[in-house]
């Protein structure tokens, strides 16, 4: 599983000119699911996200987690995080989990974060989405379950 987490002041997802998810400060997370991922991996990654301390405290140190700043999450499914361009110039997506299972894992990931008390907004799995965000910092963290 691969996550690209951006600390944002605001983020919004639009599909067919309709807002499907919108947050003020918090995390905008691109979520990639790999073919070999398991539900256990999804649980570990959700736990990691819930404890990630990338917000500044009074001394300017990244010491605060999402709960401490009352932040939200905009979660966006993103199979292209597993695009492989090692051979040629056109990416191969063979490492990405097939869509039906990936959608179930993505929803499970979001449900876990909601169960931890976070406000979770989403895009629409498999849709063409337009994402707007105001990156705060900028701070961008990549979490990979294999690293």
Catalytically annotated residues: 80
Strand partners, 120: 73
CA distance 2 to 71: 21
Note the helical H segments in 13-79: 39-51
Instruction: State the Cα–Cα distance between residues 22 and 12, nearest whole angstrom.
Output: 4
């Amino acid at each position: 599983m691969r996550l690209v987490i951006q600390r944002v002041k605001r983020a919004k997802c639009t599909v067919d000119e309709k807002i499907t998810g919108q947050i003020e400060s918090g995390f905008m997370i691109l979520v990639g699911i790999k073919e070999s991922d398991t539900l256990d991996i999804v649980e570990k990654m959700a736990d990691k996200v819930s404890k990630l301390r990338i917000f500044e405290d009074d001394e300017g140190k990244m010491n605060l987690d999402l709960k401490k700043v009352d932040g939200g999450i905009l979660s966006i499914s993103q199979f292209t995080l597993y695009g492989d361009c090692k051979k040629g110039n056109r990416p191969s997506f063979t490492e990405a989990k097939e869509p039906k299972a990936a959608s179930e894992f993505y929803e499970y990931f979001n449900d876990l974060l909601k169960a931890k008390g976070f406000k979770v907004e989403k895009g629409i799995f498999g849709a063409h989405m337009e994402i707007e965000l105001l990156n705060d910092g900028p701070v961008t963290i990549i979490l990979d379950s294999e690293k």
